[in-house]
Amino acid sequence: MSQDNVVVGRLGRAFGVKGWQHLQSFTSPQDNLLSYQPWFLRLHNSDHWQPIDSYEIQNHNDGYLVRLAGVEQREAAQQFSGSLLGTPAQTFGNTEDGEFYWHQLIGCQVINEQGEALGEVKGLLETGAHDVLQIMRQGQSVLVPFADPFITEVNLTDRRILVMWPSEWND
């Protein structure tokens, strides 16, 4: 599968000697990770996604441990540390009006109410109070709260987000 995968987790360090390793969920809540299937793996040094045919998973503290099929020893698990876990975008359910998945916002152009292009959404940050858009503008990062009253309109069809954020606020 190609770039249609959305990153939902990452394999962490090895745990024990039998091939288990930590699994970091990027979903909220974190157990949503378990409902997104099938999984694909992108090794930390590759752009290619490969299907994960079989694995074991178990709860560990407030996270998960996973053991991929054929990985029986700590050294084998260590090779996968840092690899990303993805699932096809079609796996996600529909959202309600005014709700968005983060992956839908990445790549959108951000324009302020004065018609000035602020840049492209490169990522989002979770701050506790609200999410924050990370916008790249001329090699510089601009941070805009993804909350009222700053977000005026999100148009996923046109890949555009209209914000109440005058450009002088970035100086």
Tens-place pLDDT, residues 40-59: 999 987 889 999 989 999 99
What would be the CATH architecture of the domain defined by 5-91? Answer: Beta Barrel (2.40)
Do 59 and 66 contact (CB within 8 A), yes or no? Answer: no
Q: How many helices (H) and strands (E) does the chain have?
A: 2, 13
pTM of the predicted structure, to 2 decimals: 0.73
What would be the CATH architecture of the domain defined by 102-170? Answer: Roll (2.30)
* pLDDT digits (tens), the chain, 171 positions: 345 789 999 999 999 999 999 999 988 888 989 989 999 999 987 889 999 989 999 999 989 999 999 999 999 999 999 999 999 988 887 888 888 888 899 999 999 999 999 999 998 888 888 889 999 988 888 999 999 999 999 999 999 999 999 877 876
Encoded amino acid at 121, one letter: V
Query: Does 102-170 match 5-91 at the fold level?
Result: no
Number of neighbouring beta carbons within 10 Å of residue 99: 9
Tens-place pLDDT, residues 25-40: 988 888 989 989 999 9
Domain parsing of the chain, residue ranges: 5-91, 102-170
